[in-house]
Amino acid sequence: MFSPAAATPLGTLTGIGVGPGDPDLITVKALAALQRATVVAYPRGRPGQAGWAEQILGDRIAPHQRRLPLDFPFVTDPAQLQRAWQQAAAQVWTLLAQGQDVVFACEGDLSFYGTFTYLAEALERAHPEVVIHRIPGVCSPMAAVSALGIPLTKQGEKLAVLPALYSLADLEQTLTWAEVVVLLKVGSVYAQVWPVLKKHQLLHRSWVVVRASQPNQEIYRDLDRFPQLDLPYFSLMVIRSA
Amino acid sequence: MFSPAAATPLGTLTGIGVGPGDPDLITVKALAALQRATVVAYPRGRPGQAGWAEQILGDRIAPHQRRLPLDFPFVTDPAQLQRAWQQAAAQVWTLLAQGQDVVFACEGDLSFYGTFTYLAEALERAHPEVVIHRIPGVCSPMAAVSALGIPLTKQGEKLAVLPALYSLADLEQTLTWAEVVVLLKVGSVYAQVWPVLKKHQLLHRSWVVVRASQPNQEIYRDLDRFPQLDLPYFSLMVIRSA
């Protein structure tokens, strides 16, 4: 019996982390995968802007490569997100089924709060036969402490990463337990976090890094000087209580 | 007045993370820094073995480059460690003072439990004028989850990293708080951790990865089958309770 599906071998999807912003913080392995790909997918940027991973890759996406921006809307509604992930998966599957190899690029490391996870999970649910490779990358906390010239963790220090702050009690509890705390997306909660750091006498042991490893990187230290800071969304704080 | 010290500009020390084991998980930036260096330093291996970072770099260290293995003894005595770090710093300083540029390579990311921190801190204490650059790298937890084909963290999940397990109460407490827990160096405590995972019904949500990203990588899943495992020191466990 003739089966047209069997005639074309499936393409593979390779997720790559392109690093925190400096284009040369991509790994040799991710760069090679990028250069081999027929199609380069990435999360679409906000209206009128290139996506962040696309900006980091810059002209490393060759003119002959097809660009595939995928919609990962900036919303929190689970149903809307699920629909977007399923739609992105369907777009990628169409290409894989045609035998095209697709690279999906995301900023930082692809497994550390990366959009790649949602695409991969939606694909695996809809098409369990999909072949997915993953190439890890440098994540933003590592780039931030390198910029600060301090360690993230040493010896027996415990590390906690809070991707968003739901309550100040969360932070207080974490500080009793972990020697090192990283707060991602600290911009919107900075003014609430500051009094907690003051109370625990941690203002001189805390740092804020904006756009780590990028040319317009900003660093804030000695935070007792900054009860308020107007920070972009993707800012992070490192607290070293040890 | 003639000052011979002023005649030679100081060399710079650049710390690079060379990634978790796969030689191509080095970044483009770290590779360029390596290739520019006069001297390539790294932690000396156990007797009769090349150091781990040296093995990862392999023949990327060019014949004309000077190799400088530094002693970071596998001991816990603070005084002995301090002496070793000071001695390593003195060796590096001698070269920097001669105007030579030194790269110090460590496995994974240099700021994430990396030996580079101890070298840098000893140098900064002894010679505050030292010029140090840091190039972040891919750390082992990121490589482990990429190998497993699972995310490390997504959406609002909190992450805890325990570098060593001092008490099972520590682990129990962490599990109540963090959706994702990474245990480094799990080899020596695996048999004690297993009953805790069983009690919390997490054996099917836990994975062990040995030598992530290397050719002899090993993965253990469905841990209910493995109440005991004979694991090397550098094994890690990922627990995803969400």
pLDDT tens sequence across B35-71: 999 999 999 998 889 999 999 999 999 999 999 999 9
3-state secondary structure of A56: helix
Please report, as a single letter, which amino acid is at residue B150.
I
Query: Which of B159, B171, B214, B240 should we substitute to test contact with A (largest number of A Cβ atoms within 10 Å)?
Result: B159
Q: Given B19, B24, B149, which is nearest A134 (Cβ)?
A: B149
Chain A residues near residue B138 by CB distance under 8 angstroms: 17, 27, 109, 136-138
Find the closest chain B residue to A31 by CA distance. B28
Q: Which of the four pLDDT bands, split at 50, 70 and 90, describes residue B1? A: very low
* pLDDT tens track for B114-162: 999 999 999 999 999 999 999 999 999 999 999 999 999 999 999 999 9
3-state secondary structure of B222: coil
Chain B residues near residue A178 by CB distance under 8 angstroms: 160
Q: Given B146, B159, B174, which is nearest A136 (Cβ)?
A: B146
Q: To the nearest whole angstrom, how far is the Cα of A1 from the nearest Cα of chain B?
A: 35
3-state secondary structure of B240: strand
Q: How far is CA A6 from CA A1, A2, A10, A102, A201, in A?
A: 11, 9, 9, 19, 65
Verify whether the Cβ–Cβ distance A28 to B27 is below 8 Å. Answer: yes
Pairwise CA distance, residues B161 & B138, whole Å = 16
Write down the pTM of the prediction. Answer: 0.95
Pairwise CA distance, residues A71 & B52, whole Å = 41
Domains of chain B (ranges; CATH) run 4-135 (3.40.1010.10), 140-240 (3.30.950.10)
Are A45 and A238 in contact by the 8 Å Cβ rule? The answer is no
Residue B48 exposed, middle or buried by CB count within 10 Å (0-12, 13-18, 19+) = exposed
Q: How far is CA B195 from CA A121, B228, B238, B240, in A?
A: 30, 10, 16, 16
Residue B6 pLDDT? 57
DSSP state, residue B10: P
Verify whether the Cβ–Cβ distance B146 to A139 is below 8 Å. Answer: no
Pick the closest to residue A146 from B117, B199, B220 (CA basis). B117
Q: To the nearest whole angstrom, how far is the Cα of A136 from the nearest Cα of chain B?
A: 6
Query: Which of B81, B111, B182, B240 should we substitute to test contact with A (largest number of A Cβ atoms within 10 Å)?
Result: B111
Pairwise CA distance, residues B29 & A26, whole Å = 8
Verify whether the Cβ–Cβ distance B24 to A17 is below 8 Å. Answer: no
Q: How far is CA B13 from CA A215, B41, B51, B92, B131, in A?
A: 21, 10, 19, 8, 6
3-state secondary structure of A15: strand
Pick the closest to residue A206 from A164, A170, A241, A159 (CA basis). A241
DSSP characters for B171-210?
Answer: HHHHHHH-SEEEESSGGGGHHHHHHHHHHTT-GGGEEEEE
Q: How far is CA B230 from CA A103, A180, B186, B207, B224, in A?
A: 37, 31, 10, 14, 15
Helices and strands (DSSP H and E) totals, chain B: 8, 10
* pLDDT tens track for B175-210: 999 999 999 999 999 999 999 999 999 999 999 999
Indicate if the pLDDT at residue B227 is higher than 90: yes
Verify whether the Cβ–Cβ distance A154 to B113 is below 8 Å. Answer: yes
Averaged pLDDT, B98-120: 97
Residue B164 pLDDT? 83
Residue A178 pLDDT? 95
Q: Which of residues 67-96 of A touch B (CB under 8 A)?
A: none
